[in-house]
Structure 1
Amino acid sequence: MRRTNLLVILLLILLCNYAQAQPQWHWGLRGGSSGNTINPTPGESVVDMATDAHGNVYFIAMVKADAAATISGYNGPVSNYGADDILLASYDCAGNYRWHKSIGGYTTDMALLRGGLGLDSLGGVYIASTVISPGIIGNQPAVHFGSDTILAKGTRKSLFLVKYDTSGIFQWLRMPEPDTIGIFSANSAFRTLHVDKGGDVYLHINSYGGAMADGNMVLPGPGDYILKYNAAGSLLNYITLGMQTSRTTQFDAKLSRDRNSGNFYIAGSYSSYSGGAFAMGGNSITNSAIVGAFNAQGQYLWHRTNNYQHIQGFHGYPQVDHQGNITLTGTFKGGGSLNDGFNGYTMSNPLSNVTRDCPFIVKLSPSGQNIWAINARSTTSNSILAITQTGSEVIIGGGASGLITWPGGADSINLPGLPHKPFIARFDAATGVPVSMSYLNADNSSQYNVVTSLTSYNGNIYAGGTFGYQLDVAGQNWTSSGGNNDFFVARFGYDCNCTPPAAGFTKTITGKTASFTYTGTAAFLSVRWDFGDGSLPVTAVNPGHTYASAGTYNVCVTVTSDCGNHTYCEQVQVSDGIGITGAEDLAPVRIYPNPAYKELHISDAVPGTILDVYSIAGQHMTSHFIKRANEVLDISRWPAGVYFARFKAKTGASVYRKFLKQ
């Protein structure tokens, strides 16, 4: 009897831990006006999102500015300047309003709803898009960047990159087009934006070429370019992309960069009916879903596209993981005899005898080979517009109606008839196995109830989108202010007052065999290891792994608790012989946590090693003589930012470790 009771108690404890660990919807907010000027549909919606290390969320949305717009938590209407304006806003992890900025002029800004937002780890918030200034004559309002900067009437430049800090304080504005552009046509079109954690900003444009940035840089001719800025707003250089488009090419693209290899990945949807030519690496593009890879110098590496015209295209930013793999999502047309394929994977929808729009996901290796692919089966048409990745999961978002299921997944959504409901679906990032689906209840006044953007941090997922009349989020009921649609933001995840776990590990290497010891947060629900060689993840706490060949591998451990998840990665070298390759005294040295807050821990160091730390700007922060294998460095007074730690052995050999101070 005692044994039975003990088993029951243990089972109840496990069930309680499981229940506590399940993420859920926590809150939602809305914004918008009663105006009806936005074109194209769906109207007021979130265009892009990002989160910082404190759980604050930042987003840009298109708002109809012909009528006063309101947003949750702000007492009063937001400033409006013309037909359609750009709203930048920030809320904390609990959904409390922090600050906002209105950007726009007398007419429609953020053409075709193309805008980008990105954060660095130095406290910078960057936005890129387009604005239109009025002529000198007339009483139309000039373009405003909040109350911080007002453009002179008659300004012909439209492309902009603006930076604020995470408190909403204006930093700088860059409009790189030349002053000599024509009065009725812009010189450059915005495509997409990517911001690295260290403050490097990559602005993807299509340009006619010529002098840029007040004549400080000259683009050789028409083409697609990436303009690289630093955190101070200096235009460092341009990168010519190995792709060929024109200003009439309808290519809705998103850009991501692999921080390890420096490669760029551009994915999106293309309409060949627009008449605009499109090629990558000299290869003509005719189908709708396209992803291309380019090296750090912009040279073409490879591209992949669908078989026919039945895929509507890729949506959202390509998700590049710690191993350089790329995960993409989109929508294909399937049902009956109409089925498409991508890169050797054939899609099908056996739940319908007529054509339906069905979500799909594909994960590619750095060389463009399929790792896994999966598509939904649905009785009605559904859309997917966003993707993000956190810990060991990849998440997609869109609008769902009817019955939607995934092969191999026990979870399903069955929402009879229209309209669509905003929903997210979670998958195992390594295998593509479905984890769960969750939706928000919306009224039946509009079919444009969809998630349009996603971002995530430490297991918390922020979904932004658009809704028609009413939306329910975690017991909150939001009603739109009228017009076409209002935008919304909702958080799905864990309790904000709960501290997320921190992952870490040490290692011992003998030849091609590595033994790993988990050193992160002690209270956890699961630990998961990715050894960086393409093998499946393992969940042992302190695993060993033998590599097939010598080399350098990026090993990552992800820890999950009731408060979220965290991933820590470190490069590991194995050799055919005994020991560790590289600088013999320095290769094992490790610093953690990364990011660090008040203390930087040093482990596996050789006594007598000299440590020097430099900021990303080259400032020498400290010099430290290491006396023990494991030491702690106080960095509590240092500014937040990226730092480089140089370890110099008695032999004169040096190795560097990069870390982030928050």
Structure 2
Amino acid sequence: MLKKLLILTLIFSLTSPTVVAQWDWAISGGSVNTFSRTTDYNNVNHITTDQAGNVYIMGQVGGAGVKVDSHSLSAYSGIYPSASLDIVLSSFTENGTYRWSKIIGGHMYDFGYALKTDKQGHLYVTGQIRNVDATLIGTPYNSVHFDTDTILPKIPIDSVTTSFGEDTLMQSMFIVQYDTAGTFQWLNMPEPDTTSRYRGNFPVNMDVDANGDVYWLCYLLPGEYRWANNNIITQAGTYVVKYNSQGNIIGINQLEFNAGRGIDLTDSWGGLTHFARNPMNGNYYIAGTNKAKQYSYLLIGGDTINSDMYLAAFSPTGQLLWKKESGGVDLGSIEDLELDLNGNIYLGGLIRPGTEFGGHTYTSPKSSGAPFVSSFDSGGNHLWSEMAVVDAVSITYDVAVSDTEIAITGYGSSLYWPNNTDSVKTLGNQGYDAFLARFNKGNGELITMERTNTPFGGASYGNAIAAGPQNTYYMGGNFSMSMFLGQDTLYKVGSQRSFFLTKYECDVPEASMSVSGINATNTINLVYTGAPADSVKWYLGDGTQLWGDSITYSYAAKGKYRVCTMAYFDCTEVTVCDSLVAGEISLTEESLAEVAIYPNPTNDFLNLENLPKEGQVTLYNLSGKLLLQQPFKKENNKLDLSNLPKGVYLLELQNNAGERVFRKVMKE
């Protein structure tokens, strides 16, 4: 008697052979300024998304001829080489449709350090404006604008000399909230008139929790600040200033983390000190590149840090819990720190062979500094690391975390990831181009790597990345000539580099299998019945692995075996596993083949028709997490998906005879 148990174990592990990039859309932007410093090029510095799937970028532009995806904007900075920069904030739908933009800045240099959203429909930006810079005697330059929402007063200098003077409005640190439609909500600039960035205060970084509570990492000098309570800072140091979503201060804690100067914790556009809060326990994590050792000092828990790189954890009240320092060759930089929902830590940056960090020594057959990505648990224990092999110095600039994987972006010339047969090895002498590499969160295996396409002599640089729905990422940076991304060709706005934003998506196909057997024997026939795949691999539960769309296999003994089929697709793999008993194979009693599921995609309800008389329906996300399960006792049913985020899900239908079928459904 044939009996198919079909005890569901669904695994969506994402690894694939060499692939073709799937760039859904791309936009460009920037100003026409000519800059004398490479750090001043038009660029996308940060990307984030909201609950509705909208995308937000924060970048830097000059003052002349600013455009974002062909939309002209008014900026406020100077238009001469190295004169100044403004902050550009723009939003797009998940399909690439332009929504809105804001320009923040004045005549001088203005910098944005962090961009975050919460689940309440708010967008947060922190950075510094330069309303305090010296100006010539006479009519002041442009005031600092938070677009047209707020204009700061430009106070004329009261002097009879012909020398330079300073404004008397000394606030430079800011944190501003918009709603996701771009409507201004509030602005806080808490410094006293007696201190400023140019006298030592710095808004180093920021994190925001789901409720909209803001954790603002700042270096503060002594003084009386502009919040209502506990507003006297008596000791220079690094503090976490906590705001609620209405912009009110609700707490402040000094960390056992300090530097001789605040400027040594940051750079023009941030990028030295990275910060995240663990939502599970409230602990803070800081990682970075130790610039302070060149000019002053960096102290963590009272100890002087002399290494290039560090990672440290602090309690919610600021006490040091543990720290890691680099050693060995000790040459590298940490360019980003991200956490997943379990509190695991992911770092990316540049590393040179022979450098040790967190118990792992990075090795490479080449001597050049290369992109790396590393994972640690919340206690600082090393989980895994990957280091690329490059012909010329290359780097990871940003990290994005999703349910089952992480992705990084940066730039490289000839670049591949060792011990991964599916790694893309780019050609030598091809110049630098932006890359996007995806890794399995659990073990660090490379899933796939994509490289942007630029003409000979051109270059592109990946600088920021954010995760969208499953297998979807938004990547931004800048480019020097033109870029070819899917069906879109991007051209420069000005004479130097322009910025870009692109969406990468890997569609997840359906995978399934069928089983039959020869009665009274231990032989089974397995057939892959899912979407056409590049190749199919079988794991037969007794240690045997076979390749092929259909196979016949005889077990040595009768028994229950867990059988999996792994289908390799263009940019992912899907694994479906069932439990079966060899030697006991029979037909199912009631078919689910005629079930109708519509509309698919849906934005609220999913209709199920032609169901058997009795059974149950189950919905999983692509990492196998159970989302809902309910019985059905009639031929027609509805599932309410309105509260689920946009993405791809797996629907399982089971009848009373034990037959199960699986269908991919999409919420949009």
* Same-fold status (TM-score > 0.5): yes
Deviations 1:488-539 (A, max 9, x none): 11110157xx9x99xxxxxxxxxxxxxxxxxxxxx9x9xxxxxxxxxxxx97
Tell me the residue number matched to 2:546.
none
Structural mapping, 1:620-631, within 5 Å: none
Structure 2 residue corresponding to 1:289, chosen from 309, 332, 335: 309
Which residue does the alignment assign to 1:207?
220
Q: Structure 1: where are the runs of 5+ without partners?
A: 1-17, 502-522, 526-537, 544-561, 565-591, 595-599, 605-631, 638-661
How far, CA to CA, are the matches of 1:133 and 1:30 in structure 2? 29
SS of 2:419's equivalent? coil
- Counterpart contact for 2:329–2:356, Cα < 8 Å: no
Quick one: distance in 2 between partners of 1:219 and 1:603? 57
Aligned to 1:454: 465
1:122 to 117, 120, 127: 120
SS of 2:351 mapped into structure 1: strand
Q: 1:340 to 1:130 in 2, by over 3 A?
A: same
Q: Give the partner amino acid of 1:36.
A: T
Who is 1:193 aligned against? 206
Match of 2:65 in 1: 68
The RMSD of aligned alpha carbons is 3.4
**Large movers: runs of 4+ above 6 Å:** 538-543, 600-604, 632-637
Q: Structure 2 residue aligned with 1:274, among 275, 294, 299?
A: 294
State the alpha-carbon separation in 2 of the partners of residues 381 and 261 from structure 1.
Answer: 38
Which residue matches 1:346?
361
**Structure 2 CA distance for aligned equivalents of residues 262 and 214 of structure 1:** 23
**How far 1:271 sits from its partner (Å)?**
2.2
Q: CA deviation at 1:81?
A: 3.8
- SS in structure 2 opposite 1:415? coil
In the alignment, residue 238 of structure 1 is paired with which amino acid?
A: I
Whether the 8 Å contact between 1:239 and 1:297 is mirrored in structure 2 is yes
Aligned pairs for 1:72-83 within 5 A: 72-74=69-71, 76-82=72-78, 83=84
Secondary structure, aligned partner of 2:392: coil
The share of aligned pairs that are identical, in percent, is 28
How far does the alpha carbon of each residue in 1:282-332 deviate from its partner, in whole angstroms, 9 at most, with x for none? 12111212111111112111111211464321112x221222211111111
* Kept after mapping to 2: 8 A contact 1:129/1:160: yes
> Which amino acid is 2:145 matched to?
H
CA-to-aligned-CA distance 1:118-160 (integer Å, 9 cap, x gap): 0001010000000011669424100000100000114210000
Q: Which moved more, 1:184-193 or 1:413-422?
A: 184-193
- Distance in 2 between residues matched to 1:49 and 1:129, nearest whole Å: 15
Question: 2:177, 2:283 → 1: CA distance?
Answer: 25
State the partner residue of 2:351: 332
Hey, what does 1:178 align to over in structure 2? 192
Cα separation, 1, equivalents of 2:299 and 2:477 = 32
Question: What secondary structure sits across from 1:414 in the alignment?
Answer: coil
Q: CA deviation at 1:432?
A: 0.5
Contact 2:130 / 2:172 at 8 angstroms: preserved in 1?
yes
Amino acid at match of 2:344: N
C-alpha contact 1:90 1:97 (8 A) present in aligned 2 = yes
Judge conservation of contact 2:388–2:415 (CA < 8 Å) in 1.
no
Structure 2: which amino acid aligns with 1:80? Y
Shift in CA distance, 77/142, structure 1 to aligned 2, threshold 3 Å? same
Q: Tell me if structure 2 keeps the 8 A contact 1:178–1:214.
A: no
- Which aligned pairs between 1:52-67 and structure 2 lie closer than 5 A? 52-65=50-63, 67=64
The correspondence of residues 638-657 of structure 1 with structure 2, limited to 5 A, is: none
Structure 1 residues 217-616: aligned runs within 5 Å:
217-245=231-259, 246-251=261-266, 252-272=272-292, 274-308=294-328, 310-316=330-336, 318-334=337-353, 339-350=354-365, 352=366, 355-445=367-457, 449-459=460-470, 460-494=472-506
Displacement after TM superposition at 1:187 (Å): 4.8
**Distance change (3 Å), C-alpha of 1:320 and 1:403:** closer
Matches of 1:410 and 1:634 in 2, distance apart? Answer: 39
Deviation at 1:209, TM superposition (A): 2.8
Give the alignment partner of residue 170 of structure 2, picking from 151, 156, 164.
156
Kept in 2: contact 1:268–1:289 (CA 8 A)? yes
Q: Secondary structure at the match of 1:259?
A: coil
Q: Give 1:431 deviation, angstroms.
A: 0.4
Change (3 A) 1:380 1:601: closer
The Cα of 1:241 is off from its aligned counterpart by 0.9
**Residues 208-258 of structure 1: CA deviation (Å, up to 9, x unaligned):** 132222564222310001111110000111121111212242551111111
C-alpha distance 478-78 of structure 1, shift in aligned 2 (>3 A): farther
In the TM superposition, residue 421 of structure 1 has moved relative to its aligned partner by 0.7
> Which residue identity lines up with residue 130 of structure 1 in the other structure?
Q
Q: Which has the higher contact order (CA 8 A, sep 6+)?
A: 2
2:233 and 2:444 map into 1 onto residues whose CA distance is 42
Aligned partners of 1:52 and 1:214: how far apart in 2?
29
User: Cα offset for 1:164?
Assistant: 0.5
Q: How far 1:273 moved relative to its partner? A: 5.2
Query: CA 1:239 to 1:39, structure 2 compared with 1: closer, same or farther past 3 Å?
Result: farther
Flag the 1:414–1:202 CA change in 2: closer, same or farther, 3 A: same
Shift of 1:406: 2.6
Aligned partners of 1:380 and 1:229: how far apart in 2? 44
Task: Specify the SS of the correspondent of 1:118.
Answer: strand
Name the amino acid aligned to 1:457. G
Q: Does the C-alpha gap of structure 1 residues 309 and 117 become closer, same or farther in structure 2, counting only changes over 3 Å?
A: farther
Shift of 1:443: 3.5
